[in-house]
Structure 1
């Protein structure tokens, strides 16, 4: 799996806030899908904080693992 930290300038992406994020601005994660990668950031620092770039294969593996853990 390849994970790379990007600067905060990832333009042209549509960010989606996690449905598991708290309504009061607590633990909030946003995800955006690009052509070759998935990007993850903390919504509290959106635009100012770091952005993680995860290859699409790595993201698929993460989601599969997380889904397996949630079902257990």
Structure 2
């Protein structure tokens, strides 16, 4: 089974998930920046342009916090 290096959104380690058969989906409307996949109760996020790089792995509570903060502009760089 192929696994990838995985890290939590704040550097914590997560279980090594087999992402080789993951159903990767675009992370936003028309945006090709990130892809997400739901695997074994976790949410994996990777770079769409560099899919071989490490994936971020979120548990459901972390994912909810990330999405809510993104919607509220917490990560806007402009």
Aligned to 1:25: none
Structure 2 unaligned blocks of 5 or more: 1-6
Does 1 or 2 have the higher relative contact order (CA < 8 Å, sep 6+)?
A: 1
Structure 1 unaligned blocks of 5 or more: 23-27
Work out the number of aligned pairs and report it. 62
Q: How does 1:4-43 map to 2 (within 5 A)?
A: 4=13, 10-18=19-27, 19-21=29-31, 28-43=33-48
Cα distance change of structure 1 residues 6 and 44 upon mapping to structure 2, 3 Å threshold: farther
Greater percentage in strand: 1
TM-score by length of 1: 0.64
| Larger mean Cα displacement after TM superposition, 30-39 or 61-70 | 61-70
Distance 1:45 1:53 in 2: 16
TM-score by length of 2: 0.60
Please report how far the alpha carbon of residue 20 of structure 1 lies from its aligned counterpart in structure 2 after TM superposition.
4.6
